[in-house]
Amino acid sequence: MTAQEDTTALDKLNSALNSGAFQQVRFTLNSTLRPVEVAHLLEKSPPKERQILWNLIHPENEGKVLQYLADDIQADILSKMDADRLLAITETLDTDDVADVLQQLPERITRELLQIMDQQNRERIEEILAYPEDTAGGLMNTDTVTIRPDITVETCLRYIRRHNEIPEMTDSLFVVSRKKNSYIGTLPLTKLLVSDPEITIREIMNTDIKPIPADMPDDKVASLFEKHDLVSAPVINKSGKLLGRITIDDVVDVIREDADHSLMSMAGLDEDEDTFAPLLKTTRRRAVWLGINLLTALLASSVIGLFQDTIDKVVALAVLMPIVASMGGIAGSQTLTLMIRGQALGHVERSNARWLLNRELLVSLLNGIIWAGVVAAVSMVWFSSQTIGIVIGLAIVINLIVGALAGTLLPLVLKAWGIDPALAGSVLLTTITDVVGFFAFLGLATYFYG
């Protein structure tokens, strides 16, 4: 289904909803569309429509749709259900998907749910829940197909044929020891298909790729998948026992969320943010960010306040001062964004940070000279004063260099302190370029006009 058809589907559903044709909508949601498409429709529906659509989904489909929803929306829907309904949903899902859903619930409710589950399910889910959501253990599924190393290709093929179905995204079988289920190697299906039937698995299995420890952070898992072009990979615990596997579809979600994280954080938003979050929730979240930025703005104003006498003398300063702050902010933001992307891609580290700092400082110096010249000329003509041109030119060069310094060093320092550069970096950078910009410009003016 293309995006075009998908749009049409939403339009059709909307008009059907508006005309009250609930039967028709119910049929489309449960029989025509796949769960992932229903989830996408829910994600792009405003709260009221979303609620109506959700209520039209058959109980046995709810779980499948739920697992494709963004975390924010998932948590919202789950929070409105009672324990019985939640239990019914978990019964339609695979163990690892149940664990994903449980992670969106308050701990009290999770414990309650686990208690009413049967023992075998409870134990398997508790094992997965032991790993945080953003680690290999939290990402993994438990649907591995395992074989022993000492059997032949022919035996292996016969063993597989006894399965009615092999789990989706199975590109490899995992070879494990007979005793402790320890991971030994990987056997790609493509290798199995072209090998001599008489040969043993041990002779053809792949032992190059190291298994993934369950506590590896998910961004490291993603970079392993990208580097080695993996479709699936085995996950082991500390003693080497095979716990499960990670598949590329879940890794793609990690990659998308990590990439969205920088974009959204720089604007003070959460990468899980529901585009159609309701009014009050949105207002509350945005208010916090505006408040933080207000403090920044007040600080900048208080710097200007120090120079009221100078501005009183030369009102042209008030006209020109936003230019200095803005140029520094723009130059600094470019450096900051490049650094944050560089950190996300693993390009930036101690050994090359000095080179980056030098280049950014020189870029700012060169661009500072160019644009300071232009602004100085414009200001001189505008206000028929040479002094004001000199003052604004110098201030721009200073602020561009400070912008480059802050844009390069803030991400390094914040990261070393364990603070997210994408979230805190842009606010701090604007504070610095505003304060320095106003101080340099008005300070120099006070000196020249004083």
300-339 binders of a copy of itself (CB under 8 A): 300-301, 304-305, 308, 311-312, 315-323, 325-327, 330-331, 333-334, 336-338
CA distance 43 to 277: 10
Q: What is the largest CA-CA distance in the chain?
A: 96
Asked if 401 and 335 count as a contact pair (C-beta separation under 8 A), the reply is no
**Residue 102 CB, nearest approach to a copy of itself (Å):** 22
Q: Which stretch binds a copy of itself (CB under 8 A): 59-67, 74-82, 85-93, 246-254?
A: 246-254
Q: Which stretch binds a copy of itself (CB under 8 A): 76-84, 97-105, 259-267, 412-420?
A: 259-267
**Residue 446 CB, nearest approach to a copy of itself (Å):** 14
Closer to a copy of itself by Cβ: residue 109 or 255: 255
- List the alpha helices (DSSP H) in 185-278: 189-194, 201-204, 218-228, 248-266
Closer to a copy of itself by Cβ: residue 190 or 386: 190
Task: Kindly list the distances between the CA atom of residue 2 and the CA atoms of 41, 108, 412, in Å, as whole numbers in the listed order.
Answer: 14, 42, 42
Closer to a copy of itself by Cβ: residue 239 or 351: 351
**Residue 157 CB, nearest approach to a copy of itself (Å):** 7
Residue 220 touches a copy of itself, criterion: CB under 8 A: yes
DSSP-based three-state secondary structure for 399:
helix
CA distance 130 to 137: 8
Residue 127 touches a copy of itself, criterion: CB under 8 A: no
Residues 263-282 contacting a copy of itself, CB under 8 A: 263-264, 266-269, 273, 275-276, 278-279, 282
**Residue 69 CB, nearest approach to a copy of itself (Å):** 12
**Residue 150 CB, nearest approach to a copy of itself (Å):** 20
**Residue 205 CB, nearest approach to a copy of itself (Å):** 16
Residue 34 touches a copy of itself, criterion: CB under 8 A: yes
Looking at the DSSP bridge assignments, the partners of residue 232 are 247
* Closest to 410 measured CA to CA, from 264, 255, 217, 266: 266
**Residue 200 CB, nearest approach to a copy of itself (Å):** 17
Asked if 307 and 446 count as a contact pair (C-beta separation under 8 A), the reply is yes
Asked if 240 and 182 count as a contact pair (C-beta separation under 8 A), the reply is yes
In what side-by-side order are the strands of the sheet with 232-236?
A: 212-213, 232-236, 242-247
Residue 377 touches a copy of itself, criterion: CB under 8 A: no
- 22 CB-near residues (< 8 Å, 6+ apart): 16, 56
Closer to a copy of itself by Cβ: residue 117 or 363: 363
Angle between helices 35-43 and 47-55 (to 10 degrees): 150
Residue 370 touches a copy of itself, criterion: CB under 8 A: yes
In what side-by-side order are the strands of the sheet with 146-147?
A: 146-147, 172-176, 183-188
Residue 349 touches a copy of itself, criterion: CB under 8 A: yes
Residues 186-205 contacting a copy of itself, CB under 8 A: 189-190, 193-194
Q: Which stretch binds a copy of itself (CB under 8 A): 78-86, 105-113, 115-123, 346-354?
A: 346-354
**Residue 199 CB, nearest approach to a copy of itself (Å):** 12
Residue 160 touches a copy of itself, criterion: CB under 8 A: yes
- 270 CB-near residues (< 8 Å, 6+ apart): 72, 264, 285
* Closest to 124 measured CA to CA, from 148, 147, 97: 97
Closer to a copy of itself by Cβ: residue 126 or 312: 312
Residue 85 touches a copy of itself, criterion: CB under 8 A: no
Of the candidate residues 22, 32, 46, 381, the single one contacting a copy of itself (CB under 8 A): 46
CA angle 53, 57, 63 (to 5 degrees): 115
Residue 243 touches a copy of itself, criterion: CB under 8 A: no
Asked if 300 and 325 count as a contact pair (C-beta separation under 8 A), the reply is yes
Of the candidate residues 116, 249, 381, 447, the single one contacting a copy of itself (CB under 8 A): 249
